[in-house]
Structure 1
Amino acid sequence: MDALADLLDGPRARGAFLLRSVLTPPWSVRIADLAPLTLVHMVRGDAWIRTDDAGARQLRPGDIAVIRGPEPYTVAGDPETEPQIVIRPGQVSTDPDGDELCERMDLGVRTWGDDPTGVEGPGGPAARGPAAGGPPASAVMISGTYQMRGEISSRLLSALPRVLVLPGDAWSSPVPALLSEEIVRDEPGQEVVLDRLLDLLLIAVLRAWFARPEAAAPAWYAAQGDPVVGPALRLLHDDPAHPWTVAGLAARTGVSRAALGRRFTELVGEPPMAYLTGWRLALAADLLREPDATVASVARRVGYGSPFALSAAFKRVRGVSPQQHRERTAVAP
């Protein structure tokens, strides 16, 4: 398995929040739900995503945005429109004064907004507009929210910008259309279907995103294509529990120890063993979220000879013990 595959192996939605929103201009929604990650697919109309620290990014029909939390942000038809709706923790929607809007704006199965005609989709009454002699057409977007940090690996979150936008014409995938069809169905097992579709959509979007020049992908991503460092990275990711040394890794990649160390550090930004330590501890941090995992079992899986060795390395690098990390992530949004 390569490093990107390892990174994208993390998303595991469990009861994710998925919603089809139908909103008439002027509209603006403040998202303050503390969620770690949200995807927004713009089905119809334009929108702007505005963060407090990164300005505004435009979404056009077909575009998909990935927004990393838990900091709040605003999605609006116009970046200057003040929010009329606030999404709070637990996906509770209110007006800015705190009065609940959930029931008032319910438009049916996983559909919400202020335009009942918008649920009919393209070609229906919602496709009206000034050219048709009617009011402005509604914006339609599908959002999928991972509600718990444990559903998304810390390695993946740390590799993402605050907001990324993948243009609709930059890739091709059947997943957005399939999600659009499935989100309004109310059938047995539908929650699991939607969870898996959200995972698949995120993986497809990020794979396309990391291949784009503006992605500013992590150094290890570009290094995967190197004839020396690429195989070394795959070896480390395939078997992190192996007792690797620089000499052993160099022998497997067919170069000298000095050549591997120099090339690896140049492309990845740190020596091979430092990278391996970071990868082992990142993997351990994710494994510790599993309810049945013990520190001893995690230590064996990531290449530490004892739980004490893992605890010492974990505390040295991350500043907390594995148990403290487990307790913190158990209550984190």
Structure 2
Amino acid sequence: MDPLTHFFDGPRAVGAFALSMHMSAPWGVNVCDNAALTVLAVTKGRARVDGTLLQFGDVALIRGPEPYSVTDAAGNAPSIEIGPGQRCTSLDGRDLRDELRHGIRRWGNAADGETALLIGTYERPDEAGGLVTRALPRLAIVQSEHADGALVSLLANELAHNDPAAQVVVDRLLDVLVVGTIRRWLNSTDRPAEGTWLTCNDPLIVRALECLHAEPAAPWTVESLARRVNTSRASLAARFRTSVGEPPMAYLTRWRLTLAGDLLQAPGSTVSGVARTVGYYNAYAFSTAFKRQVGTTPTEYRQRRPTLSPGPVPLKESSHQGSFI
């Protein structure tokens, strides 16, 4: 499986936080929610993300977990803060949830301001696809003429109604919007040219990536990978670093542990079995490497992530009700 195919099968929103935000100037919001990835679409007016102007119809992806600001087009100073758990307060700590709520998924300082934004958030890297969130720039923008306006409209319409299974539909539409936006960003002529696996266009390195993705458990070395793609060790190492942004074996480790995160969620999987599947034959070494990358042990990772329920989650039970909105 090539890297893009794996990622495009990756986003798995579960009870995603999503809303329609309506604002009248002057306004500004500091977002410190520690989310892994946020998608933001301008459905009316204009706004700025960390000072970068977004026009009507633009769609942006914001890579976390670092804080960022969203303000009116004039760039007024923020007076609202969104914290972990989507808690909404004034800068001095006053709770603003009820004051700014205008419906189940409608929020802002005005019921119908001159600016409207559609916002969807993946709170954890395992929901958004940990490998791609590291490959994206801090702010990836797809301008209106290249964005999927029809999909944005579908999501906006779903957010405006409390239909049965609304959360399930929002989750899936959000996944498709993120994937579609990344595809359009990759095809954009004005995107940055930094080397990552996501933007690699060197045919030899693409073949090397396909080898690593097809056989993650193989005992790869730079030399064996170079033989597979018919080049020298030195040439592979240099071209890989230029195209992908890191050495081949560092990328392989990251890829193995990203796959492990997916496999750990499979029913009946074991830590030792997952370790072997991704090329670790020592469970302790696997656990150490996994914790270094993910921040938690494989066992803790399995326990903390909710599983998909077989049926729709009632809206009133969503973990996000009563926080930001």
Q: Secondary structure at the match of 1:170?
A: coil
Alignment correspondent of 2:197: 220
Structure 1: unaligned runs, 5 residues or longer: 51-55, 119-136
Give the C-alpha shift of residue 61 in structure 1: 0.2
How many residues get paired?
305
Contact 1:22 1:139 in 2 (8 A): yes
- Does 2:91 correspond to 1:96? yes
Give the Cα separation in 1 of the matches to 2:235 and 2:31. Answer: 49
Contact 1:30 1:73 in 2 (8 A): yes
Superposed CA RMSD in Å reads 3.3
Give the Cα separation in 1 of the matches to 2:172 and 2:132. Answer: 17
Contact 1:94 1:102 in 2 (8 A): yes
Give the Cα separation in 2 of the matches to 1:293 and 1:99. Answer: 45
Q: Secondary structure at the match of 1:168?
A: coil
Alignment correspondent of 2:20: 20
Q: Secondary structure at the match of 2:213?
A: helix
Q: 1:70-85 to 2 correspondence within 5 Å? A: 70-85=65-80
Alignment correspondent of 1:151: 127
Alignment correspondent of 1:7: 7
The code of the aligned residue for 2:138 comes to: R
The code of the aligned residue for 2:11 comes to: P
Give the Cα separation in 2 of the matches to 1:164 and 1:24. Answer: 25
Give the Cα separation in 2 of the matches to 1:37 and 1:201. Answer: 13
Give the Cα separation in 2 of the matches to 1:319 and 1:12. Answer: 17
Q: 1:1-333 to 2 correspondence within 5 Å? A: 1-50=1-50, 56-116=51-111, 118=112, 138-172=114-148, 174-212=150-188, 213-223=190-200, 225-244=201-220, 249=225, 253=229, 263-264=239-240, 267-268=243-244, 272-285=248-261, 287-288=263-264, 293-311=269-287, 314=290, 318=293, 322-323=297-298, 326=301
The code of the aligned residue for 1:14 comes to: V
Q: Secondary structure at the match of 2:48?
A: strand
Contact 1:159 1:217 in 2 (8 A): no
TM-score, L = length of structure 2: 0.79
Contact 1:65 1:165 in 2 (8 A): yes
Contact 1:20 1:141 in 2 (8 A): yes
Q: Secondary structure at the match of 2:85?
A: coil
- Change in Cα spacing, 1:258 to 1:10, as seen in structure 2 (3 Å) is same
Farther off after superposition, 170-179 or 191-200: 170-179
Q: Deviations over 1:50-107 (max 9, x none)?
A: 2xxxxx1111100112222233222111454232322232223233333322223322
TM-score, L = length of structure 1: 0.77
Structure 2: unaligned runs, 5 residues or longer: 306-325
